[in-house]
């Protein structure tokens, strides 16, 4: 079965690209369609597939960036030619779900979130950037209208969390199945030898809606050792805000990040996440999580067992949660069991079940029958990884 995998853009390997990677592994006769790509930035198995871009490819580069081209995304998305495929499967947090499938071809969408900065998270996304906020506000209304109108191009949705499922219903008036994204719990494991855990860790993209300044202020007030790991456009501001107990690490490797997880007293997550892979990676390393009790954290962190959830954003709430954390005892085995729920094997099993159910619901049992069996999919992935 020929499958068109539509993904917003390929500029790095984050949670969305890890979902795409599992889709590529699961569906061997697939090709990738994306707005633009930075060659070498995606997982090698994705790069090895035919990757089709749009005219935006000529306008972007790692140096010039791509966010300023947002008003052109709808036009570019209309140019994807998906003829000749049996199924369109989009992996979308922006415009991939707006792809137009040929007549008679099902379009199923795995949605990481409706576009945050077009809908209910506009203010949080552009906090601290007044000039960009002004320009974005001017473009917001027509883009949001197009986004809502073209949601009808999707025959069935899956969301990565209950939080996103509710957001899909609010934004587009559509229901969605819930298929949590994959986390590599085979790579993220506890330290093979006992080690002392010291300090707190925050792993994040450096963007305003992650609420990283809450953690920096808490570290300043409490004289807390904190490692801030990641990258993004908010990096200069965050470096200025970082106090003397904070160290900032720019884009650690996967191996370096695993060691950071293993050595941290706890991982902090002060912002609301759609799902949040970082808390699961931390728990897979046996590390508890202190997180804002909103969004995906309520689905991945067990309060009082694998971490601490606190009710309201801000440094005061975070400091109170750290105080509570220090009164509790955590068993790393509880964290490992919780993280195992989100393994890649679980994702493949749940994704296949959703694909079959969605296609059957559309009366396309002949396509559902051509999907790989679960055992075949898992065996193929193991072969790839060895």
Q: Within 13 Å, how many C-alpha atoms sit on residue 40's CB side?
A: 2
Structure tokens at 93: 């947090």
Give the model confidence (pLDDT) of 7-31 as tens digits: 999 998 888 999 999 999 999 999 9
Q: CA separation (Å) from 7 to 18, 20, 132, 195, 277?
A: 11, 8, 25, 40, 19
Q: How far apart are CA 134 and CA 147, in angstroms?
A: 20
Cβ count within 10 A of residue 78: 14
**Same fold: 3-182+343-380 with 200-341:** yes
H-helix or E-strand spanning residue 353: helix 344-361
Arch. (CATH architecture) of 3-182+343-380:
3-Layer(aba) Sandwich (3.40)
* Helix pair angle (315-325, 212-222), 10° resolution: 60
> What's the whole-number mean pLDDT along residues 44-67?
90
Domain ranges of the chain: 3-182+343-380, 200-341
Q: Tokens 């003397």, residue?
A: 244
Structure tokens at 208: 């305003």
Give the model confidence (pLDDT) of 71-83 as tens digits: 899 999 999 999 9
Q: Which of 52-61, 138-147, 248-257, 320-329 has the weakest average pLDDT? A: 138-147
Cβ count within 10 A of residue 308: 25
DSSP 62-114: TTTBSGGGGGGHHHHHTT---TT-SEEEEEESSSGGG--PPTT--EEEEES-S
Q: CA separation (Å) from 358 to 226, 321, 362, 380?
A: 45, 41, 6, 24
Asked if 284 and 185 count as a contact pair (C-beta separation under 8 A), the reply is yes
How are beta strands 226-231 and 3-7 bridged, if at all?
A: unpaired
Q: Tell the CATH superfamily of the 200-341 domain.
A: Glycogen Phosphorylase B; (3.40.50.2000)
Give the model confidence (pLDDT) of 365-378 as tens digits: 999 999 998 756 56
Give the model confidence (pLDDT) of 114-126 as tens digits: 987 666 655 555 5
The pLDDT score that the predictor gives to residue 128 is 57
**DSSP type of residue 37:** B
């Amino acid at each position: 079965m020929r499958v068109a995998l539509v993904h917003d853009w390929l500029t790095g390997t984050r949670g969305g690209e890890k979902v795409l990677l599992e889709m590529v592994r699961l569906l061997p006769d697939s090709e990738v369609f994306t707005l633009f790509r930075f060659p070498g930035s995606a997982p090698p198995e994705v790069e090895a597939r035919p990757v089709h871009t749009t005219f935006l490819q000529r306008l972007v580069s790692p140096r010039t960036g791509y966010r300023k081209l947002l008003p052109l995304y709808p036009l570019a998305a209309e140019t994807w030619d998906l003829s000749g495929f049996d199924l369109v499967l989009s992996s979308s947090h922006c415009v991939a779900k707006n792809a137009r499938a040929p007549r008679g071809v099902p379009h199923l969408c795995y949605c990481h979130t409706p576009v945050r900065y077009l809908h209910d998270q506009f203010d949080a996304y552009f906090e601290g950037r007044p000039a960009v906020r002004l320009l974005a506000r001017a473009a917001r209304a027509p883009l949001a209208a197009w986004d809502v109108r073209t949601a009808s191009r999707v025959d069935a949705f899956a969301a990565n969390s209950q939080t996103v499922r509710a957001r899909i219903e609010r934004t587009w008036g559509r229901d969605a199945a819930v298929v949590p994204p994959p986390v590599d719990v085979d790579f993220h494991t506890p330290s093979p030898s006992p080690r002392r855990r010291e300090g707190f860790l925050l792993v994040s993209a450096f963007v305003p809606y992650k609420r990283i300044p809450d953690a920096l202020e808490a570290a300043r007030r409490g004289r807390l050792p904190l490692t801030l790991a990641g990258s993004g456009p908010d990096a200069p501001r965050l470096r200025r805000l970082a106090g003397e107990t904070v160290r900032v690490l720019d884009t650690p490797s996967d191996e370096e990040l695993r060691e950071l997880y293993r050595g941290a007293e706890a991982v902090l997550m002060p912002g609301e996440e759609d799902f949040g892979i970082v808390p699961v990676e931390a728990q897979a390393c046996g590390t508890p999580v202190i997180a804002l009790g909103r969004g995906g954290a309520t689905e991945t962190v067990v309060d009082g067992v694998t971490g601490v959830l606190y009710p309201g954003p801000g440094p005061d709430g975070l400091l109170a949660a750290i105080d509570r954390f220090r009164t509790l005892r955590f068993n790393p085995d509880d964290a490992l069991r919780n993280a195992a729920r989100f393994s890649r094997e679980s994702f493949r099993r749940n994704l296949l079940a959703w694909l079959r159910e969605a296609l059957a619901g559309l009366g396309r049992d002949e396509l559902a029958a051509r999907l790989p069996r679960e055992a075949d999919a898992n065996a193929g992935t193991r072969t790839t990884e060895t």
